[in-house]
Amino acid sequence: MSDRPNIIFINTDQHTWNVISAYGNEHVKTPNIDRLHNNGMSFMRSYSSDPVCAPARASWMTGRFTSEAGTPFNGGHLHEDIPDLGQVLKAGGYKAYHCGKWHVDGRDVHSSFDVLYHGQYPIGAGGAEYYDPAITHACVDFLTSYDGEDPFFMQAWYVNPHDICEYGHNFETKEMPDAVTRGQLREDELPPFPENFEYDERETVLHQVSRRIEDCLIHWPIMKATKTWDENQWRTFIWSHHRFVEKVDGEIGLILTAVEQSGLADNTLIIFSVDHGEAFGQL
Amino acid sequence: MAVTDQIHWSFQYDGRSQAPVFGERLIEIMQDTVIEDLVDDSAIVDRYLVLPNYWKGYRGRGLEEGDTQVEIGEVVVDRKQISSGNWKYDVRFLNQTSGEDLRLDFECLDNAFCTLTDSWNVSAVNGANSNDPVTCNWALFDVIPNMVDVMKISGDRISLTMLEDLEKVRENVRIGFMESFDLQVGNEVIPLDGFFNYGEGTLSSYWWLDQQGVVRIASTVFQTLVLISRKTGGGT
């Protein structure tokens, strides 16, 4: 066994920072992320460098601001001459493995990492229901069979709770069901309505253009649909996001258990982060 | 009124699909569904085609030109009653999007909740500590039909602990009656009873049963299972 630690980097996608039960959120149960918090250290003043999927991931992989890396938006291509974490770790004697969603535009994941699982088709936005269990299975297979002499870095990049976006898009063309009125959920089961929901009328022109003007936002159809949502519909949307978080928490639990049961725990550093959150209509 | 305008909202995904339109394909499948007369209820094999609810996320950026194969896979739920009286399940989910060929086999008690037999030490391994019966998500194809009267007539919800894919414990899962709905399939009207399934760590899903108690449609967020055949008396 190497005296250098193995490193596992787990991330979830579209996971709002405080939707973790260990942080006091009573409307979600994340026992496995809580295990990491309770046995480790949480950095409460860390922030996404650019809270959009591809930009945030490019920053993770390069340690650069997205303005430097060429990735200030989804579809921005990472500059070829900037090395990424997989390449740096390999040069430093680590085995570097990737599993799951990649979404670092302009960089072929295979050029930087050995890939454990990357989907039958490239994993884009959404599809956790298809991909997340497969990501777990590949990671667990790896962890329970790794017998290399070199230390390894393995990143498990999950898709959920990003499926909340597709859940939301679904209601661009049909009415969001009110589960409370239907008797399927009690109102007290729903997370509270965000206190800062109403927008600040002093917002900048840029904000006004990007958020309020028809068709100025790529996700305008869902934004338009949400304008008719009442408080319970918003709260049902938030409730659904929390269920997706719990889904992926279960996947993370299987990885943590595999680390423990494979005898790797004493020499493995586990890092958990999120590329960006979900705003829930908040400012 | 267009065919797909008549589809219930809980399995209506035309808004996010590509050609062929989701709803049209769903109705086509249901027109082709073959349900054998029940000759032996101790061995039942149901086969579902899996439709993606969204155009993104299942084949890269979506269908390629000329690609009319919308289905992303199939689910086969094969169960037989064995000599002990318990039920032996063999479930296969061939998912062409994830590339996984998931195969599960498990055994359940012969009760309405399809309680997993005690070879699953859920309490010790996974920490489930509720008093709810523990079943597998793939046994819901029988649990919901078994509990129709309880849920539909009394209005009660049932509460379960689910061992999802025999891997992940999901507690406080609730299933209840939603509403009845007449689905027009060609010249035929199929009366369906709808049930919701909500819970911790559980995707909201909607289950639609025909008047014989057969699950015809099961719709989650990303995919919809549509029954294409039911065989009884053994064999696949």
Note the ipTM here: 0.90
| A interface test, pick of B204, B205, B224 with most A CB neighbours within 10 Å | B204
Please report, for the domain that includes residue A78, its CATH number.
3.40.720.10
pLDDT tens by residue, chain A, 283 residues = 678 999 999 999 999 999 999 999 999 999 999 999 999 999 999 999 999 999 999 999 999 999 999 999 999 999 999 999 999 999 999 999 999 999 999 999 999 999 999 887 778 778 899 899 999 999 999 999 999 999 999 999 999 999 999 898 888 888 888 889 888 999 999 999 888 777 777 888 887 777 778 877 778 888 888 888 999 999 999 999 999 999 999 999 999 999 999 999 999 999 999 999 998 877 5
Task: Flag whether A258 is in a domain.
Answer: yes
| CA-to-CA separations, B188 to B191, B215, B216, in angstroms, rounded | 10, 17, 15
pLDDT band at B60 (very low <50, low <70, confident <90, very high): low
List phi, psi (to 5°) of A41.
-135, 135
Single pTM value for the model: 0.93
In a domain, A197, yes or no: no
pLDDT number for residue B125? 38
* Structural domain range at position A66: 6-165+236-274
Whether B161 has its CB under 8 Å from any CB of chain A: the answer is no
Confidence of residue B130 (pLDDT cuts 50, 70, 90): low
| Cβ-based contacts of B16 with chain A (< 8 Å) | 166, 169-170, 173
Nearest Cα to A14, choosing from A44, A42, A48?
A48
Domain count, chain A: 1
Neighbour tally for A92: CB within 10 Å: 11
Chain A residues touching B95 at Cβ < 8 A = 130, 134
- Are A251 and A133 a contacting pair, CB within 8 Å? yes
Contacts of A125 in chain B (CB under 8 A): 56-57
For residues B129 and B172, the answer to whether their CB atoms sit within 8 Å is no
Position B15 scores a pLDDT of 81
CB-defined contacts A:B, below 8 A:
122
CA distance B163 to chain A (A): 11
Q: Do A169 and B16 count as a contact with CB atoms less than 8 A apart?
A: yes
Structural domains of chain B, count:
1
What domain range is B8 assigned to?
3-232
pLDDT at B197 > cutoff 50: yes
**Position A219 in a domain:** no
CA distance B82 to chain A (A): 30
Q: Which residue has the tokens 């949480």?
A: A42
- Residue B62: pLDDT above 60? no
Chain A contact for B99 (CB, 8 A cutoff): yes
**Lowest-pLDDT range of A58-62, B82-86, B191-195, B230-234:** B230-234
- The reply to whether B103 touches chain A by the CB within 8 Å rule is no
The residue-averaged pLDDT of B39-45 equals 90
